[in-house]
Structure 1
Amino acid sequence: MSEHAMPTGPALEGRVALVTGASRGIGAATARAFSAAGAKLVLAARDENALHALADDISGRGGCAVAIPTDVQYPESVCRLVEQTVGAYGRLDVAVNCAADNGHRPTPLADVSIGDFDRAIAVSLRGVFLAMKYEIPAMLQGGGGAIVNMSSTAAHRPVGGLAGYVTAKAALEGMTRTAALDYAAAGIRINALAPGPILTEQLHRAGADAQRTVAATVPARRLGSPEEVAAAAVWLCGPGAEFVTGTTVTVDGGLLAGMAPFAPTARHEGRR
């Protein structure tokens, strides 16, 4: 077997993984995917009831999950989260930082309240900074690890009226690359994921017409699923991505690739 041969078995077997924003949506899907990949989970979010329900569900399926209610806006809360993770499992190998503020309602920038803008930055940017600030020392103690920060295609293709959200996600990617440079030689890989339109609670609530409208803007002509984003996170944290750090992986059905053809093209049925 070569030095870089792929191991058999679940991709994250034996790893300890921390997921923030784990109570719903992409965070919850990521937690389930990491458990299926063999990781022991620590679940963090503000919604204590949803968090414990997810932990019970994972445990009921044969996984191992601990729920730790956490507000990433507060350093003491995030510090305690990482300390309890190491206390429960003895180490931290993987972290996916999904906690985010959904941002203010679409509003022209000059009309955005200072409080709404500050909250978007506090959760979606500063919260990720705090998470990494405490996750990285724990990973260094264990000899390395992998971190994925959840960005958005809005960091590359901004959405009008969402100044707080777009600003936070664009800055998050710069911070991700900086941290990757700081710790690459120490064995910690740090990347970002940028999902495009994903069928989470917000689009579910918007209804079928809104879902069709959004899907029509995607070259793949459909919405993505939280599970597809979660699968990308598993790959980024697993052995198949050991030479990947400091980058953003898009999961967007081609949204950022460019403009789709003006006229629909016939589906290819293979070469005859």
Structure 2
Amino acid sequence: MLLEGKTSVIYGGGGSIGGAVARAFAREGAKVFLAGRTEARLDKVAAEIRAGGGVAQTEEVDALDERAVDEHADAVAAAAGGIDIVFNLISHGDVQGTPLAEMALEDFERPIRTAVRTMFLTSRAAARHMIKQGSGVIMAFGGYGDPMPGYYLGGLQVAFQAVEALRRSLACELGPHGIRVVTLQTAGVPESIQESFAGRAAITQAIERRTMLNRAATLEDVGNVAVFAASGWAAAVTATAINITCGAQVD
């Protein structure tokens, strides 16, 4: 197993993407600590992991609360003997469908503030423990990329770009301590859109049309690539984004 003996912390672990990553990590032998604001969703993912023979613990944590994040990371490190992997997958509260020229400042700012604040807090909390052990992997999600014409993404893509700037700085400063920082870059994961959302099919088709493979990344794709990025097989990979856009973005 690629992550046997590793301790991972997933913020937003009760969400569709966070849950997929958590299940993939557990499948490969990692102990999974799920953090988020909705206990029922965390417990559901944890129960699925345990049913499959994996190890999972949950904790209600607001990943925008500095004290809560620090205390949780300290508790995980104390219980598990360290933190090997941290992945922040909380939602950013973005508003889509409104042109920027008509968008309220608060709606534009929210995803940018949320994404940068939570990425900084969770990365810093984990890094303090990773530095002591001389190793670790910090992961981000989203990546750079062009906005989709006609879909009015608001501050979402700006937020992803800001996180990428932070990822570069983290990779530079933490690299000498043996800590890798990697982004999983997608062009959208349609499976993460609620089935009840009326525009789900249209968005899926729009994403697929932009790809070279005529399909979008799946939740399983995200989990599998996350395992690779967090494992020793990717020991030389840092300060970069792993492109899982199915060819929608060309490097």
TM-score of the superposed pair, with normalisation by structure 1: 0.85
* Amino acid across the alignment from 1:187: G
Structure 2 CA distance for partners of 1:118 and 1:73, relative to 1, 3 Å:
farther
Contact 1:44 1:69 in 2 (8 A): yes
Take 1:213 and 1:176, find their aligned partners in 2: how far apart are those partners?
28
Query: Sequence identity of aligned pairs in percent?
Result: 28
**Does 2:9 align with 1:29?**
no
Aligned to 2:248: 255
* Amino acid across the alignment from 1:199: P
**Does 2:224 align with 1:224?**
no
Counterpart among 99, 102, 111 of residue 111 in structure 1: 102
Aligned to 1:158: 147
Where structure 1 has 5 or more consecutive residues not aligned to the other structure, the ranges are: 1-9, 259-272
Shift of 1:203: 6.0
Shift of 1:47: 1.6
Contact 1:59 1:65 in 2 (8 A): yes
Counterpart among 166, 170, 173 of residue 161 in structure 2: 170
* Amino acid across the alignment from 1:40: K
Q: Residue 163 of structure 1 aligns to a residue in which SS?
A: coil
* Amino acid across the alignment from 1:101: H
1:123-134 paired onto structure 2 within 5 Å: 123-134=114-125
Shift of 1:209: 4.9
Shift of 1:82: 0.6
RMSD: 1.7
Q: Residue 72 of structure 1 aligns to a residue in which SS?
A: coil
Where structure 2 has 5 or more consecutive residues not aligned to the other structure, the ranges are: none
Shift of 1:207: 4.3
* Amino acid across the alignment from 2:4: E
Take 2:148 and 2:201, find their aligned partners in 1: how far apart are those partners?
21
Contact 2:181 2:238 in 1 (8 A): yes
Q: Residue 9 of structure 2 aligns to a residue in which SS?
A: strand
Contact 2:192 2:219 in 1 (8 A): no
Take 2:60 and 2:213, find their aligned partners in 1: how far apart are those partners?
37
C-alpha distance after superposition, 1:117-159 (max 9, x if no partner): 332123222110111111100111222111111124xx22124
Aligned to 2:85: 94
Take 1:223 and 1:46, find their aligned partners in 2: how far apart are those partners?
28
Take 2:96 and 2:124, find their aligned partners in 1: how far apart are those partners?
30
Take 1:175 and 1:112, find their aligned partners in 2: how far apart are those partners?
26
TM-score of the superposed pair, with normalisation by structure 2: 0.92
Take 1:73 and 1:246, find their aligned partners in 2: how far apart are those partners?
24
Aligned to 1:84: 75
Counterpart among 195, 201, 211 of residue 204 in structure 2: 211
Q: Residue 200 of structure 1 aligns to a residue in which SS?
A: helix
1:17-96 paired onto structure 2 within 5 Å: 17-96=8-87
Q: Residue 138 of structure 2 aligns to a residue in which SS?
A: strand
* Amino acid across the alignment from 2:209: A
C-alpha distance after superposition, 1:223-246 (max 9, x if no partner): 221110111111111111111110
Take 1:70 and 1:123, find their aligned partners in 2: how far apart are those partners?
15
**Does 2:231 align with 1:238?**
yes
Shift of 1:210: 4.4
C-alpha distance after superposition, 1:157-178 (max 9, x if no partner): 1245223111110011111011
* Amino acid across the alignment from 1:21: G
Structure 2 CA distance for partners of 1:191 and 1:214, relative to 1, 3 Å:
closer
**Structure of higher CA gyration radius:** 1
